[in-house]
A and B are shown apart, each in its own frame.
Chain A
Amino acid sequence: MNGSRQGESPSLVEVTGLCVEFGGLRAVDQLSFRLEGGAALALVGESGSGKSTVAAALLGLHRGTGARVGGSVQVAGIDVQRASDDELRRLRGGGAAMVFQDPLSSLDPYYAIGDQIAEVYRVHARGSRRAARARAVEVLDRVGIPDARRRSRSRPHEFSGGMRQRALIAMALACEPDLLIADEPTTALDVTVQAQILDLLHALREETGMGLLLVTHDVGVAAESVDEVLVMRHGRTVEHGPVGAVLGAPAQSYTRELLDAVPRVDAPRAPSAPAGEVVLEATGLRREFGRGKRAFAAVDDVSLTIRRGETLGVVGESGSGKTTLGRMLVGLLQPTAGEIKPGGGVRPEVQMVFQDPVSSLNPRRSVGESIADPLRARGEPDEGRVRGRVRELLERVGLEAAHYDRYPHEFSGGQRQRVGIARALAADPRVIVCDEPVSALDVTTQAQVVALLGELQRELGLALVFVAHDLAVVRQASDRVAVMRRGRIVESGPADEVYDNPQDPYTQQLLAAVPALDPGLAARRRAARREPAMV
């Protein structure tokens, strides 16, 4: 639905000259846009661009937090800046409802989901408890929760991630708002679930005619879902226009950069050096967790070989066992069954690059010290040589030698991941297992880190195991790919073969769910997905 309401009726959202400051820091700077009823706008930007701050400003959530808000914000006819507390409360949920990023933490863990929705409903529509519960079941049913009456009595942790996100959307729907604000609604979800949620949002919008303000870092998600895009950077507007125009023919260089950095699932990898000899061979790997009745196998009968100079991509959704597999390969976990054999007789040095650049570095030690760990552990006694080698490594991964004495919090996410790579390199490994090395990073940084890994591989003849959930990134980085599901490899082979001609239905489903950057293609894919696959 593209039509906006005509005539004198004011816009659903009208933001003029919005500024938000925290302390001395200006998070949003002179931002203006409008959104008509029933239309959909995406705020796109990397982390720190201020997009979530804007979303919060629409509901007046900055009130009382110490943030300074300037400019004017009108939502559903209410001047958010000047509204009384009561008016604001009526707006929240009633006029405009918000769907948050992390569906697990955004619901109260202690109450049944139906009760939480009913509570919100009763704030806005004075009705009986029973009526509110009935409404909760109704909206849960609407968002596709099967057996909604029974499941409405469940607590959030009893729902899967996708169902929780549906429940949050149901909560938003409960009071029939004019505007739905979705703040990174799919970031924490697997790609197939993400597609379902985006489809749901689309369908709801068609059905109820409410406006949608989508906040996302993922250009693909925006392309799938909205009419208009507003690209933000450093709190300011970079580019604003219809989705087709902005994504198809970006006027600004930053927008172009952003688009270029997005990995394409359909773009083959640049050819790499031919693979060398086998360095590591795993056969029949199995790993169980828990005991007795609650035991389950996270990895089940997985066999693979890793060759010098080659990247093996392991792709799968959450719970597929890919991380467990990675940890077994480096020796952090012992397999319950099966074995890992070195290719050439001697066990090669295997290192790991971790997913979370925050938790993978000790916050209380300088990065230089962390990188020096493998050197010292090996008994290198000469302090000067240790420091020299660390400086060399820092420079090799694109940092400065002087960073030796800095602490992790002084670095950005991408830089920290570079530190992690330097630490892995310090041990002179022949194999590096990268466990979701870029999933916590912005797209532009992602591309840089993937490029760095490729460079290092060529230079040092490393074997890489690239574990990730993002199909596009894996394709970008890998020579061969293994697709995992429920602890098993369902399909493996050369990357191009697997991506261009997937044999396994699961692989096909995964690929079909990847958001497309072309809005037209996205619409066609959506139509194709129509027969709803349940979460």
Chain B
Amino acid sequence: MTRLAGFVLRRAAGALITLFAISVIVYVVFYVTPGNVAQITCGPRCSPAQVHQVAEQLHLHDPLYERYWHFLQGLVVGQDYSTGTSVEHCPAPCLGLSYQSDQQVTRLILTKLPVSLSLVFGAMVLWLVLGVGTGVLSAWRRGRLTERLLTGITLAGVATPVFVIGLVLMIVVCGELELLPFPQYVAFTDDPEQWAWNLLLPWFSLALIEAAAFARLTRAAMLETLAEDHIRTFRAYGVGERSVIGRHALRGAFAPVIALNANNFGGAVGGAVLTETLFGLPGIGQELVHAVNVVDLPVVVGMVLVIGFFVVIANAVADVLYAVADRRVVLT
């Protein structure tokens, strides 16, 4: 267990460095990005004097390093800000205030995160089922019609952008067949049934994109395992094909699949931009793209950090699971 603790400690330190670097990169990149932040925030018809006032208020006149220092301070000790009529406190870790909406970025993230996580978790279950199922079938029935068909379907998932799949699905399933409602996010805590019902289509659309990767990985790992000596052992002992495939070959695919899954999960938390946009799910990705477009630096930095956090965490979890799944692996 001390080994695990050491691993966690090392990973946490690494994650901190990574996140720190990410925040610096985002700060610099969005500093040089075009767009007069104060003018955008104030409105296009604002007078130069007003724009100047707004810029003052957002500390846009301060040098970059000072603004970054301010950001770091907020993270550690929080930040006080004025609403005009009163002074509010944004508790640590404070990621600052949105230029656009004046909301605390941490609060904004907390409201968006459940949506993104709902989307990604559900989609994950589906892509695992679809992907691994297809992979198993195609490794088993290698070269047969079923395999070709399944491979074709999953590849179509990769080849077709989500905004095409999602829209066509929505038109057909919700509009014409009326099998499902047009998706509209309902919080899990409000109504779990409606939550699932409304997210079904987004889950499916997102899963369809990812499934192919899992199918390919599962298939490759299983074929690899099937070529290994221990499979020969079990065949030589009369163990049935079903058990060889389902118990031994699939077990070989387990580790790579959880690893890829963790990787994609982390990425999808912020990466499902198109799915969120199309289905009108108010998640991290959608908010982030909006924030990028209006150069809302605090929101961009905050959300990119959250995404980075999930990527780092997911990868660490993958490595732990990997080590648990395959005891030969040493955690470093």
Chain A residues with Cβ below 8 Å from B251 are 108, 110-111
Chain A residues with Cβ below 8 Å from B230 are 105-109
**B236 and A92 within 8 A (CB):** yes
Cα of A122 to Cα of B328 in the assembled complex, Å: 27
The yes or no answer to B193 lying at the interface (CB within 8 A) is: no
- Pick the residue among B228, B236, B325 that contacts A93 (CB under 8 A): B236
The yes or no answer to B229 lying at the interface (CB within 8 A) is: yes
Within 8 A of A (CB), among B216-254: 228-230, 232-240, 243, 247-248, 251-252, 254
- Pick the residue among A100, A102, A108, A123 that contacts B238 (CB under 8 A): A123
Q: Of A21-29, A83-91, A508-516, which stretch is located at the interface?
A: A83-91
**B237 and A100 within 8 A (CB):** no
Cα of A90 to Cα of B235 in the assembled complex, Å: 11
User: Closest residue to A95 on the B side, CB-wise?
Assistant: B238
Interface size class of B (residues with CB under 8 A): 20 to 34
Chain A residues with Cβ below 8 Å from B239 are 89, 93, 119-120, 123
- Pick the residue among B237, B238, B247, B328 that contacts A109 (CB under 8 A): B328
Determine how close the nearest CB of chain A comes to the CB of B331; give it in whole angstroms. Answer: 12
**A100 and B240 within 8 A (CB):** no
**B237 and A97 within 8 A (CB):** yes
The yes or no answer to A489 lying at the interface (CB within 8 A) is: no
The yes or no answer to B327 lying at the interface (CB within 8 A) is: yes
User: Closest residue to B230 on the A side, CB-wise?
Assistant: A108
The yes or no answer to B326 lying at the interface (CB within 8 A) is: yes
Cα of A158 to Cα of B234 in the assembled complex, Å: 20
**B229 and A120 within 8 A (CB):** no
Chain B residues with Cβ below 8 Å from A171 are 233, 237
Cα of A88 to Cα of B247 in the assembled complex, Å: 21
Known: A93-B236, A105-B230. 6 other contacts (CB 8 A): A61-B236, A94-B238, A98-B236, A100-B229, A107-B230, A119-B234
B residues adjacent to A (C-beta < 8 A): 228-230, 232-240, 243, 247-248, 251-252, 254, 325-328
- A89-B240, A119-B243, A123-B240 known; A108-B234 Cβ under 8 A: yes
User: Closest residue to A97 on the B side, CB-wise?
Assistant: B237
The yes or no answer to A396 lying at the interface (CB within 8 A) is: no
**B232 and A61 within 8 A (CB):** yes
User: Closest residue to A119 on the B side, CB-wise?
Assistant: B239
Interface size class of A (residues with CB under 8 A): 20 to 34
Cα of A72 to Cα of B171 in the assembled complex, Å: 64
The yes or no answer to A155 lying at the interface (CB within 8 A) is: yes
**B229 and A109 within 8 A (CB):** no
Chain B residues with Cβ below 8 Å from A387 are none
**A123 and B237 within 8 A (CB):** yes
Chain A residues with Cβ below 8 Å from B326 are 109-110
Cα of A124 to Cα of B238 in the assembled complex, Å: 8
- A110-B251, A119-B243 known; A105-B228 Cβ under 8 A: yes
- Pick the residue among B229, B232, B238, B247 that contacts A89 (CB under 8 A): B238
User: Closest residue to B225 on the A side, CB-wise?
Assistant: A108
Cα of A148 to Cα of B65 in the assembled complex, Å: 66
- A61-B232, A108-B230, A108-B251 known; A157-B328 Cβ under 8 A: yes
Determine how close the nearest CB of chain B comes to the CB of A21; give it in whole angstroms. Answer: 20
User: Closest residue to A92 on the B side, CB-wise?
Assistant: B238
User: Closest residue to A157 on the B side, CB-wise?
Assistant: B328
**A110 and B252 within 8 A (CB):** yes
Chain A residues with Cβ below 8 Å from B325 are 110
29 contacts between A and B (CB under 8 A): A61-B232, A61-B236, A89-B238, A89-B240, A90-B238, A93-B236, A93-B238, A98-B233, A98-B236, A100-B229, A100-B233, A102-B229, A107-B233, A108-B233, A108-B251, A109-B328, A110-B248, A110-B251, A110-B325, A119-B234, A119-B243, A120-B234, A124-B238, A155-B327, A155-B328, A157-B327, A157-B328, A168-B233, A171-B237
Chain B residues with Cβ below 8 Å from A111 are 248, 251
Chain B residues with Cβ below 8 Å from A106 are 229-230, 232-233
Cα of A92 to Cα of B235 in the assembled complex, Å: 8
